[in-house]
Structure formats: structure tokens, C-alpha cells
Amino acid sequence: MQFLYRKKPKLDQYISSDIFCNASALKIADHNIITVTSGYISLIEDTFDEKYFSTILFVAIINEKTISEAFCDLHEDPNFELNQFMLDCSIQFTFSHEFQHILQLNSSKIAHDFRYSENLDTSNFDLKNHALEFDADRMASFEVLKYVFRVYRKLKNKNTQKFKCMIYIGLASICITKSLFYFRVINNSSPTYTIDKQDFYTKKFSHPHPLVRIYNILEYFYDNVENDFPELKIEPQQILNNVLGIMKLYFDSLIPNQKIIDMFFDDSEKFLDEINQYNQELYDVAIKDDSIKNLLKARGVKPWCEQR
């Protein structure tokens, strides 16, 4: 297993001609393949268009003076484009999620062809597959945090407050991406976006509910910020306030007159106990899965399964 991670599996990447937004990880014979659809490229790019982020600067209003000024500094930085950064974080998350599935497939030593797809299969449920999605989301969110740090290091004018803002923005990008699926906006081909909220569930379908995934990502992203950047002294409530503030401004711009964040809050309040209980169950299943344990050991880093 050390070999599998240190020498990454041979990987092919393809763009498939499909109008729907989807990404997949496939193992076919000795080939590891990540595919994204042309629909993914066009729809993600459209929904992360600059015009939908014109009001994001107002998130500074909810912050203390130093963070407010840092948001303004980022906005005025000629080397930083907010919507491009958020788009890149979204793509980084999607690719890293699918790549983690490739690693899982190799770690499992699966002898037959296999495919993980982001499209929800409502006819299929497997608790282990939910646990593998749980793991892939966690590792992908960690890759986004690393990406945020790399971009930050390249800024000519750096300070701690700017880095905090970039962390909030990067995490908001992931949560926005998952929420686009949660409210089933992402495959909307009409000129005006509409919503079709996905009913809450736990042990059903091929993937955990987007709200379950969002709370898993929020928790693990914060754990890594706390572990890797303790000097920032970021509190969970600060992350939540900023991420939800950015999400609200974005969705108010993307789909005016549709109170998406209100629905997000309502469902969170209604199902929070079930969300936490199910994420705990997925955690318990994941830490017992050999493919996940082997990958964590092969990375040579402190496993997320030891962070609780």
C-alpha cells in the first residue's frame, strides 16, 4: 500500500460529451480514469460567473474591522479574482474527490471494473459506499485547504486576516457546489435558474444527502484549520458565519426571490440530530474499512480517524 500512494496510480482524464453536470472515477482493467462531462464544465463555469459575486464584498459587514478590511483588500488585489478563485476551489474539490475514489479502488484491490459517479442513483444503497463518499469528501476538502494556502503564499501582499478570508471563501465554494446539487440547480438548462430541493434522507440512494455531506465537510475542514493553522485562532462560529454569509449573498444573486439560505437553515434545524448521528455512523464504518485505513497510513500523515 505504501507503493500505491507514493507512486500514484496511472491516471487518464477525459471530458465526455454529456450535457448533464457529472464527474466519475472509473477502474477498467488496469486503467484508472477520471471523467468530467462537458455539462459540468459549462454549468459550473456559468454558475460561478463573476456577475453572481458582485455583492460578496458585503460579507465584510458581518465581521470585525480587521476581517472587513481584509475582504476589501482581497477585492482590490489585482492578483486575486474572487469568482475565479471560488471556481478553482470548486474544481479542486471535485477532482480531489474523484481522485480519492481512484485511490480507494486501488487500495481495495478490486478485481472487476468499477465506477463511482456523482450522479445520484435512487435505486441503489450501500452503507459502505456512503462511507467511501464520506472519506472522499473529507480528503477533497483537505486538498482545497492546501490549495487555498498555495494561492495565499503567491500573493504579493500577505497578512493573517487575508488568509482567514481566503479560508472562508474556499470553504464557501465547496458548500455552494454541494448546495447547487442539494437544491438541484446544477442541471438547469433554462436561462433563469430555479430550485427543486432534494428531500432529506439518510440510508437511501447511492450518495449521502448533500446536507449530510456539507456538515461533514464543515466539520473536517475546521478540524484541519485548527490542526494546521492554530495561530489563526479561528472559531467554529466564525467559519459558519462567514461561509453562510457568502452563500446567502451568492444565492440571493443567482436566484433572486428564492430564500435558499432560509431553507438551508430550516432543514438544518429540523434534521441536525439525524445529520450528526448519520455522519457519526459513517465515521464508524469508514474507520473500519481496510481501503480507507491503508490509504491514511500510506499518506504518512495523522489519520483523520485519530482526530476525534
- 242 against 105, higher pLDDT: 242
Backbone angles phi, psi at 137, to 5 degrees: -65, -40
- Check whether 280 has a pLDDT greater than 60: yes
DSSP string across 51-93: GGGTTGGGGGGGS-HHHHHHHHHHHH-TT--HHHHHHHHHHHH
Beta carbons of 274 and 91 less than 8 angstroms apart: no
CA angle 50/51/52 to nearest 5° reads 90
Chain CA centroid to CA 49, Å: 18
pLDDT mean across residues, the chain: 86
pLDDT band at 5 (very low <50, low <70, confident <90, very high): very low
For the chain, what percent of residues have pLDDT higher than 70? Answer: 86
- Check whether 288 has a pLDDT greater than 70: yes
Beta carbons of 57 and 74 less than 8 angstroms apart: no
The cell numbers describing 290, all together, are: 481496510
Instruction: Give residue 3's pLDDT.
Output: 26
Q: Per-residue pLDDT tens for 206-219?
A: 999 999 999 999 99
pLDDT band at 24 (very low <50, low <70, confident <90, very high): confident
Length reported for the chain:
308
Beta carbons of 92 and 147 less than 8 angstroms apart: yes
Instruction: Give residue 308's pLDDT.
Output: 46
Mean local confidence (pLDDT), 256-260: 88
State the DSSP H helix or E strand holding residue 230, giving kind and residue range, or none if neither: none
Instruction: Give residue 7's pLDDT.
Output: 45
Q: Per-residue pLDDT tens for 55-86?
A: 777 887 778 888 889 999 998 899 899 999 99
Instruction: Give residue 117's pLDDT.
Output: 78
Q: How far apart are CA 136 and CA 130, in angstroms?
A: 10
